[in-house]
Structure 1
Amino acid sequence: MDSAIIPEGIVNYTELTKSYMGVLYSPKFAQFLNTTQTGYAHSSSGTEINLLLKTLFTSLCFCTVQLTCFCFFRSIFKFLYQPRCYCVPVNQRMDPLPRGFLTWVMPTIKCSNGFYLSMGLDTYFFVRYISILLLFFIVIGSLNMIVLIPINLSGNSDYSEAATGLDKLSLSNISISNVHKLNAHFVMSLITIGFFHWLIIYEFNSFVIIRLSYLLSQKHENSITSRTLLLTNVPNNLKDKNILTKVFDVIPGGIKNIWFVHDFSVIEDDVRMIKVALDYLEEAHTIYFRKFIKSKFKVSLFGKGSRNIDDTIIQKYIKVDFEPRLCPKFYPPIFIGPYEIPKVNRRIRFKLPGFLRILLCQKKVNMFDWSIEVLNSRFDSLDYQKLLLTKDQLLKHNKIIVEFNTQNGASIAHQCLLSQTQGTLDTSFSEIKPNDILWNNLDRTNSFVCLIEKYFVTIAFIGIILLYIVPVSFIGLVSQMPLLTELMPFLSWLYKLPEEVRETISSFMPSLLLSILTEIVMITFRFLTYFKGKLTGAELELDLQTWYFSFLFVQQFLVVTISSSVTVIFKQILDQPTSIPILLATNLPKAATFFFQYISLKAFAFCGTNFLRIDQLILYHTLYKLRDRTPRQKFHRLTNLPTIKWGSTFPAYSVYGSIGIAYSIISPLISVFIIFILSLALLYYKYALKYIYSHLNQSETQGKLYPIALLHLYTGIYCLEGCLIGIFFLSKNETGSCTMRIQGWIMIFILLATIFGHNTIYNRYVEHFSYLPILEDKQYKDWQSTFDESNDRIATRTGCPDLSHKSMIYLHPAFKFEYPKLWLPSDPFGIAISNINYIQSRVPKLMDGCTRGASITFKNDNARDYKIKVSEAPPDYR
């Protein structure tokens, strides 16, 4: 098959590059941007198996070393690799894994997907998503490889025109004389597309049953979140509980409680300063204790070379009074703001390091005195703000949170148009978790400026996707060493390296750098999504999922396979929409080998890095030892388990699935690499979700991410069908006639049917994403009993409190803030008790301070080398 056939009239890519690069255009820069505009993945076309193995060998070695270290360290650093077994309350702990090098593997593999229901629907459906993708590629991938690889391998009778390297195993090896062999690809594509749709429909049915069964389960129905709605754009005449109660009397069951969103700017700042001052106050004790030891017992406390304290000396100094002369002095941090920006309706605040006070010629202050002064003043302000709240004298924003008496009542209100006036009570959000509310967005008025800000962020997303050509072009330089050294002469030393090393660098580095750039973009997208005005973390995750998938698919697939510029792709699509199949057919087969190595490198990097957690391992032995200056700080670090942001996790695997589907017929060998990365991902997440990550997901979407992820897989189907259409119409025999024309027309019909099916599936199930049914059937009841048992188990394990009767649950956290309790580490001299008494005498509201569950010890004769031990939670948590 002559894959170089391109229809006439294609735009001049060089001139187009000049037009959109403008003043930046130069001969070298044009070469740098690859003016041929072909995706740099084409450079991997024809790669031999031995070169691929060389490229992967380095990553395999790193991955093996990291996994070996993980297996060795797992039983040593249990707080790092099994924190859910040790660093959470007893009733929340998982059963520890047995000691041993590989004893963790089988228990992880055998853990059923149903176990993860207790961690929320998002977690369960993600594990299910990976499992379903794995099933699809095992079944379809194996079938396509068995049938198509032998046909591809024997598809070229003319050695001079034969494909090279791994391309011999792909459709690219079918010669003109063997065009008829493409009929096998046509049949297998129908089987692949048919099986895909059967799986999608099955999963959508399962999703609806499982999700609605969970929402209708007795445990969830009794929870406050099931009966609560967040309403926006509340007019001033309705900002009264009595009036709102009458308005909602038409809803079956009526309402139980209403929370207004009060102005929290002052009290929020008070709580923030109280927490900062408390940290400095407790840190001051540690510094004071070290100075006390150094000044009083420099000679007598420790014997030479001894690590133990003499008991007689302890008795001598067991009663110690507070000595102001030993109090440390420091530059307190500089707090700027909060300042209101009226036009954008936002508040800004900054915290600058205290050493900048040197520039202002300020003197150091006593850490104890500064902290005590801040605490006293902020406690008074905190009490005053709470008093204003009780008197209903705080400003009310135009959002309210309403708790209905029944789940059905909340569901009916959620589906109703609540006001005849446009722009009033026009948006409602259900299943709102108190800790998931984005309060700084909630207190904003829905003004025209907010709308402009929202669309500005959208434009920024589009701009990032389009302009990503610049960093991608730099990545392409790494694989073009002559051009790289021409532009950057200081890198000429690369030519001194052995040829095999240079080849490995050229093949390995682009994939690595592309992964790093992708991570940076993900962080940027998450940051910008916040400014779209989303009111909850769940809504933010749902919006981020779509945008991040769009970015990944365009940049990790379209750009590297078709063109190095998104602008060129869009330009050709707009000029000649019918050329899309030709565009796909002439580019996708050439990029297959690139994805073999790209996906393999991603799998090795993901597996080794995530299992070993090298960043946390290094931080534990370096930065954390410096930062853990108080028991409270150490407790928070140990017990604040990492969480997963599903909005940016689902898209990564949707892209892998789409790439695998797009190449499932073109180059069936891709299934081996997709199965490999999915298997490693499933092993890691089943282990990490059970033993490492927090079981609490504050931004729970109740599974809404899953159907979106399934629909994203259609991009792979569309690319597959479009590519096959182009291939069938381009394929000609020795006489020049198109013998696959009929198959091409059938594939066009299949494409139209896929679009129709895609739209039908979405419209059929979309209502189930947000609404509850009135009628139930046996399937729902079967799953409901499963969820009730699961909920009982998780409630017992986690000790989840019943929040249904807490009248302050949906107030801003600052209004619920209670006076903290001082927590100092115990010592054999009673210094902590002395300081607690001194501090509480100056800050009367810091009552019930204690040393229980924390202690401080010295490792050797040096007072600087100390260790803080924590065995219980702070008194505030008890």
Structure 2
Amino acid sequence: MAVEQTGSSTSAFVSSLIFNLVIFAIFVGIFILLRNKCLNVYRPRTDNRLLPDHLKAPPLAPSAFGWFTDLLTRPKSFVLQQVGVDGYFFLRYLLLWAYVGFFGGLILWPILFAVNASGGGNKTGFDIISYSNNTHKWRVFANLFCSWAFFAFVVYVIYTELVYYTGFRHNMQCTPFYSSLPSSKVLLIDNVDQGLLFEDSLRRLFPAASRIAITRDTTEARETWEKRGKLTGKLEGAFTKVLSKCIKTRSKLEKKAEKGSDVEFPTPVNSIESYIPEKKLPTYKYKPIIGKSKKVFNEGLDELDEFNRKLDTEQGKIKESSDSLAKVGSVFLEFPSHLELQRAYQAVNKSDNFKKSRRFQSFMPEDVIWKNVGIGYVARKSKRAGAKAFLTLMIIYWAIPVAVVGCISNINNLTNMVPFLRFINNMPSVLMGIITGILPSVLLAILMSLVPPIIRYWGKQGGCMTLQHLDLWTQQWFYAFQVIQVFLVTTCTSAASSSVTKIISQPSMAMTLLSQNLPPASNFYISYMLLQGLSISSGMLAQVVGLILSFVLGRILDKTPRQKWNRQVNLSPPSWGTLYGSFGLFTVIMLCYSIIAPIIIAFTCIAFMLIYTAMMYSLVYVSGHTTDNRGRNYPLALFEVFVGVYLAEIVLIILFVMQKNWACVVLEAVWLALTVVAHLYFRRIFEPVLDTVPIGAIEGMYPCKDLGREQVFQEGQRYFVKESDSSKKSTSSDSYVGTKSDSKSGPGHAPGAGHEDAELDFKKMQLEDRDYSGMATNFEEYVSSGYKDGMRYVIQRFLHPKRYVNYSNYRPLMPQFWSLPLSSSLAATPRYQPPEITDDKAPVLWVARDQLGLSEELKVVCSEHGVSCSDADAVYDEKAKVQVTDDSYPPGYESTIMY
């Protein structure tokens, strides 16, 4: 039976390899063939009208493969500018674990391949070099010591990357550009005690705040605003359908007339009712089946006008006096500078006044999930508990279909237990390889693709306050899904199904049989890596989804000018939480099988590199980047790697127990305990400084010794004591010492126009009397410790990461435009209020212009009902289909800050 199982794994690998290589070749061929033809699919970022010039992607070499070296040899500053901070760190994550796998292979393969291949287990295929082929009890000490070396290396890599990210984020947020962003000056606090929800009370606590906004319950206005938005879409769809039908009717009559038929043309030619009787004009309803139907041209326009008037009235009441609306416990505090924002942010969790509160920063108004801001503490807690309960149950019950997939990977071993499946044994080996190798991987990928939208939905229902918060929620839950379902459930079911018949016949041998069949279960993940590395990466390059949306679904679904404009102009941003959750699983698989089936490291590294290349192209030339998480998903993903290390060590302990090698059990258990200690230590030293920026960094002297942890703690402890003293003197934010927005320039402040080198301002900066022990105190010393290239520098930085976290070492990576502040007009534009308050412009319906003059009549009809309508920048073609003109914009379009 062991030989059968191994043979099946070999045929599965061969079938998966051939199948995925064919798919890879097809997709790459499609990419090469269409890359220079379908620019709206393969290079939309090169000339997208919404992107500022510095974010438009430059052209690549037009040759078939010249783009590859052209793209991968671009400097890091180019990559960071084009893909953003989040994209940069995601690409770094992929490349990092490819490198870790490569060096891990150099360490592990010479030893473990030799030990396992000579283990006397009579295995074949890849199982020869796996742990299952080693029958010598004491030879597993080689696995033990290799695990120590490799996992220690992995933990140290996590440490160095946490240092790198923390230093990068601190220095990035202190650049003139980032420190001048509105998102770097606004603090959101939720669950504030009702006794503090008064401007005077908050002003005493935060006297530096330039604006204080206490959120109110605007549910009534929000419902009106949301209904108005839905109705606007319904009306535009109905009008487009009506005009298209009229034009097609006229076209058919003209064709008949051309053929000599006696045709009576409707009159007047520019009247909709000439072509469509009133009783056949479209209707709409808010609820399917049970909803009441309403006529578009009368009731629909009247209702839209009513919504406009009602919303204007509600907005007017809110702006005049919001006292009639209930306070919901959330507060927005706007500060004149990034420095004051950081001081307040670091103090919130140190105050007894905000024990139940959470704090949020680094978000724009469009990133706020306003529906969740406007709910109270009790409702938010209950909704969050409900969301977590649902997702937990979902993880449990999702195991059923995933277990079936795991069984399929070893289905030939189940035929002895399930008689009606015995016909499978008569299948050709190629077909068997497809069933056991390709089918499970594809089914598993489809199953897991359904999960992220559900997680995001329940994140919104559970009270996530910002899109950044929602993205981290998605990453955590999706990673849990991936590890539990794709790894644990699939591995266990695959291993159990391959030995179920022998376990039933020899129950006393269950532990031994499972230990022998657990390493060969890695064959499923070899096929999985082939699918991800070859088919998925090439599918990203070929933009299969983009092609389908552009040429198939887009033409079917996009009817109105606004829908076509959105498809043409808006770039789809990646979901970092989903991406990190998906590819974080690769790291878990590599770590868990690195000792017991080390060959999988090679396939994981190849998958990482191929996906890195495909993601690099996609992020630079295809994807949009709207929500700025400032790379915060990266340290979360690094901490999640500990899950893979824990599982790998626990699997080894279990295997040692099954062999009754108690010495190895104890030694590996000690190593597991040390890993836990390292994990807890990393959390203690890094979590306090991941979201905060030390005051020393803002003032130009970075605290390299502890990355600012002590400064953050001290600032939080003394803030409210110091501010209460200051508030006795003045409650004016302008008179508060150190909050002037025109303070000295440096990495933490925005220099004036013409500043090309922000580092020069370090010399001019007057620092307050603070303790800067452990930091560079001389400017020349600070700058001279800057960026150096070469292998020696890389090794030194790896061995001593904290020596290289000051600004001068990160500056070569940073885009040039970060050295200049955002213009004051743009920085003052955002209003941190819900859209039902800020959206004070009535919507303008957008229809396409036609040669018959029907759109002109439609504009008159809309005007009679108090509704605005425009037919600018959109026309009907000869096939009665809507086309938007070049450089078109929807009526009333307002641009947003893009950087």
Q: Could you state the TM-score of these two structures normalised by the residue count of structure 1? A: 0.78
Quote the Cα distance in structure 2 between the aligned partners of 1:423 and 1:41: 62
**DSSP-derived class of the 1:643 partner:** coil
* Per-residue deviation, residues 600-632 of structure 1 (Å, max 9, x unmatched): 123334224333343443343444223332222
- Cα distance in 1, alignment partners of residues 312 and 690 from structure 2: 43
Counterpart selection for 1:816 from 822, 827, 839? 839
1:173 to 125, 133, 145: 133
Distance in structure 1 (CA, Å) of the matches to 2:140 and 2:413? 39
How far did 1:387 drift? 0.9
C-alpha contact (below 8 Å) 2:27/2:539 kept by paired residues: yes
Deviation per residue, 1:589-608 (Å, 9 max, x gap) = 23232222222123334224
Partner residue in 2 for 1:352: 288
Instruction: Report the AA paired with residue 378 of structure 1.
Output: F
- How far apart in 1 are the matches of 2:820 and 2:849? 35
Would you say the 8 A contact 1:854–1:871 is kept in 2? Answer: no
1:485-634 matched pairs, under 5 angstroms = 498=428, 500-562=430-492, 588-634=518-564
Which of 162, 165, 170 is equivalent to 1:204? 162
SS in 2 for 1:111: coil
Alignment of 1:600-749 (within 5 A): 600-697=530-627, 700-725=628-653, 745-749=666-670
Q: How many residues align?
A: 762
1:60 to 2:21 alignment: yes
1:278-357 aligned at under 5 Å gives the runs: 278-283=232-237, 285-290=239-244, 292-293=246-247, 298=252, 322=271, 324-326=273-275, 329-335=280-286, 351-352=287-288
Among 859, 875, 880, the residue aligned to 1:836: 859
Give CA deviations for 1:663-712 in whole Å, capped at 9, x if unaligned. Answer: 22222211111011101210111011111110222xx3322221221122
Identical columns (%): 22
SS of the aligned residue for 1:255 comes to coil
**Structure 1 residues 420 and 518 mapped into 2: Cα distance closer, same or farther (>3 Å)?**
closer
Which AA in structure 1 matches 2:17?
L
| Cα deviation, residue 655, structure 1 | 1.8
SS of 2:344 mapped into structure 1: helix
State how far apart, in whole Å, the 2-side matches of 1:47 and 1:60 are.
Answer: 20
What are the within-5 Å matches in structure 2 for residues 114-129 of structure 1? 114-118=77-81, 119-129=83-93
CA contact (8 A) 1:656 1:674 kept: yes
Give 2:454's aligned amino acid. T
CA distance in structure 1 between the partners assigned to 2:495 and 2:377 by the alignment: 37
Partners in 2 of 1:100 and 1:730 — Cα distance?
A: 57
Distance 1:115 1:784 in 2: 14
Q: Structure 2: which 5+ runs fail to align?
A: 260-266, 497-509, 703-781, 783-804, 895-899
8 Å CA contact retained: 1:334, 1:352: yes
The one-letter amino acid of 1:165's match is: G
For 1:215, the equivalent position in structure 2 comes to 173
SS at match of 2:283: coil
AA aligned opposite 1:109? L
Q: 1:804 aligns with which of 827, 830, 833?
A: 827
Q: Say whether the 8 Å CA contact 1:113–1:128 is kept in structure 2.
A: no
The offset of 1:170, in angstroms, is 1.8
Question: 2:213 matched to 1:259?
Answer: yes
Task: Please give the alpha-carbon distance, in whole angstroms, between the structure 2 residues aligned to 1:807 and 1:610.
Answer: 35
Structure 1 residues 55, 451: closer, same or farther in 2, change over 3 A? Answer: same
1:762: Cα distance to partner?
1.9
Q: Over residues 139-190 of structure 1, what are the superposed CA-to-partner deviations in whole Å (9 max), with x where a residue is unaligned?
A: 111332234323432333xxxx4222211112322233xx565454444333
The residue type equivalent to 1:770 in the other structure is: D
CA contact (8 A) 2:365 2:830 kept: no
Q: Which of the numbers 764, 768, 775 marks the counterpart of 2:689? A: 768
Deviation at 1:136, TM superposition (A): 0.6
Aligned partner of 2:57 among 94, 97, 107: 94
Please give the per-residue CA displacement for 1:198-232, whole angstroms capped at 9, x wherever unaligned: 32221111111101111222222122211211122
CA distance in 2, matches of 1:665, 1:593: 14
Aligned 8 A contact 2:874 2:883 in 1: no
**Partner residue in 1 for 2:797:** none
Does structure 2 retain, via aligned residues, the 8 Å contact 1:634–1:870?
Answer: no
Asked whether the 8 Å contact 1:74–1:81 carries over to 2, the reply is yes
CA distance in 2, matches of 1:322, 1:692: 43
TM superposition shift of 1:587: 5.7
> Among 865, 868, 882, which residue is 1:846 paired with?
868
1:313-369 per-position Cα deviation (integer Å, ceiling 9, x unaligned): xxxx9x97555444674443322xxxxxxxxxxxxxxx437xx66xx7x6x73x333
Which of 224, 240, 244 aligns to 2:182? It is 224
Contact 2:175 2:819 in 1 (8 A): no
The 2-side partners of 1:705 and 1:442 are apart by 22
Distance 1:422 1:643, change over 3 A: same
TM-score when scaled to structure 2?
0.76
- In the alignment, structure 1 segments of 5+ residues that lack a partner are 1-39, 306-316, 336-350, 567-579, 733-737
Superposition pairs of residues 444-523 of structure 1, within 5 angstroms? 444-447=375-378, 450-476=380-406, 478=408, 479-480=410-411, 498=428, 500-523=430-453
Q: 2:878 aligns with which of 858, 861, 864?
A: 858
Deviation at 1:768, TM superposition (A): 1.0
- The answer to whether the 8 Å contact 1:258/1:403 transfers is yes
Distance 1:301 1:496, change over 3 A: same
Once the two structures are superposed, residues 765-819 of structure 1 have per-residue CA deviations (whole angstroms, 9 ceiling, x without a partner) of 11111222122334433257457744449999xxx99543237343435532423
Cα distance change of structure 1 residues 513 and 456 upon mapping to structure 2, 3 Å threshold: same
Deviation of 1:289 after TM superposition, in Å, equals 4.2
In structure 2, the CA distance between the partners of 1:330 and 1:244, relative to structure 1 (3 Å rule), is farther
Shift in alpha-carbon separation, 1:769–1:792, aligned structure 2, 3 A: closer
Q: Let me know the Cα RMSD of the aligned residues.
A: 3.9
2:72 pairs, out of 104, 109, 115, with 109
Q: What SS does the corresponding residue of 2:123 show, helix, strand or coil?
A: coil
Q: Does 1:406 align with 2:422?
A: no
Q: Would the alpha carbon gap of residues 433 and 152 (structure 1) be closer, same or farther in structure 2, given more than 3 Å must change? A: same
**1:127, distance to aligned residue in structure 2 (A):** 0.9
8 Å contact from structure 2 (residues 343, 695) kept in 1? no
Task: Identify if the C-alpha distance between structure 1 residues 424 and 332 changes in structure 2 by more than 3 Å, giving closer, same or farther.
Answer: farther
The alignment partner of 1:399 has SS state of strand
Structure 2 Cα separation of the partners of residues 504 and 323 of structure 1: 58
Shift in Å, 1:420:
7.2
1:403-422 residue CA offsets vs partner (Å, 9 max, x unmatched): 02232322222232589776
In the alignment, the residues of structure 2 paired with residue 287 and residue 451 of structure 1 have an alpha-carbon distance, to the nearest angstrom, of 45
C-alpha distance in 2 between matches for 1:728 and 1:418: 45
Asked whether the 8 Å contact 2:91–2:616 carries over to 1, the reply is yes
Contact kept in structure 1, 2:132 and 2:515, CA below 8 Å: no
Secondary structure in structure 2 of the residue aligned to 1:635: helix
Shift of 1:533: 1.7
For 1:186 and 1:295, locate their aligned partners in 2 and report how far apart those are by CA, in whole Å: 79
Is structure 2 residue 95 aligned with structure 1 residue 144?
A: no
- Shift of residue 427, structure 1, vs aligned partner: 2.8
